[in-house]
Amino acid sequence: MITQITAVPKLYIGIDIHKRSWKVHCATDLFSGKSFSMNPNPEQLKDYVNKHFADYEVSTAYEAGCCGYSAHRCFESYGWFSLVVN
């Protein structure tokens, strides 16, 4: 019997973005996830996702604020779906 992938696993990332640090919560469509703090660097988050969730479809969301849209533009350049919410 040949196994076929019928659905792409999904990763959802919620971020509380601040100038000095980010609080990140990751969850998939199968488990509730993990929270951690990190430096405010989109590339560092990309490295984490590539290491732990390599074949996942990634969606991010964070609140619009004083830090602007640079993180949003980076996330979209990685091929991730990104929301900036009010």
Give tens-digit pLDDT for 49-84.
Answer: 999 999 999 999 998 777 778 999 999 999 999 999
- pTM of full prediction above 0.85: yes
DSSP three-state, residue 51: helix
Q: In whole numbers, what is the pLDDT of the chain averaged over residues?
A: 91
Question: What separation in angstroms does the CA of 54 have from each of 18, 32, 57, 70?
Answer: 26, 18, 9, 23
- The answer to whether residue 49 sits within a structural domain is yes
Contact of 21 with 71, CB cutoff 8 Å: no
Q: What's the domain count of the chain?
A: 1
Q: pLDDT > 70: what percent of the chain?
A: 100
Q: Kindly provide the residue ranges of all beta strands, DSSP E only, lying in 10-65, ordered along the sequence.
A: 10-17, 22-28, 34-38, 57-63
- The answer to whether residue 42 sits within a structural domain is yes
CATH number for position 50: 3.30.420.140
The answer on pLDDT for 1 being more than 80 is no
- The answer to whether residue 65 sits within a structural domain is yes
- The answer to whether residue 4 sits within a structural domain is no
